[in-house]
Amino acid sequence: MEKRSKIESYVGFAMRAGKCRCGMNSVASLKGAHVLLLCATASGNTAKEAAKLAGKFRCKLVLCKGAALETLTHREGCKVAAVTDRSLARAILEHLDEQFTEYQAGEAVTNG
Tell me, what's the pLDDT at 105?
Answer: 62
- Split at pLDDT 50, 70, 90, the class of 1 is very low
DSSP for 61-105, please give it. Answer: EEEE-SS-HHHHHT-TT--EEEE--HHHHHHHHHT--SSEEE--T
30 and 86 in contact (C-beta within 8 Å)? Answer: no
The DSSP secondary-structure symbol of 112 reads: -
What's the pLDDT tens digit per position in 71-87?
999 999 999 999 999 99
- Split at pLDDT 50, 70, 90, the class of 106 is low
Task: Identify the burial level of 77 via C-beta atoms within 10 angstroms of its C-beta, where 0-12 means exposed, 13-18 middle and 19 or more buried.
Answer: exposed
CA distance 111 to 87: 31
- Model pTM greater than 0.85? yes
CATH, domain range 12-78+86-100: 3.30.1330
- Split at pLDDT 50, 70, 90, the class of 67 is confident
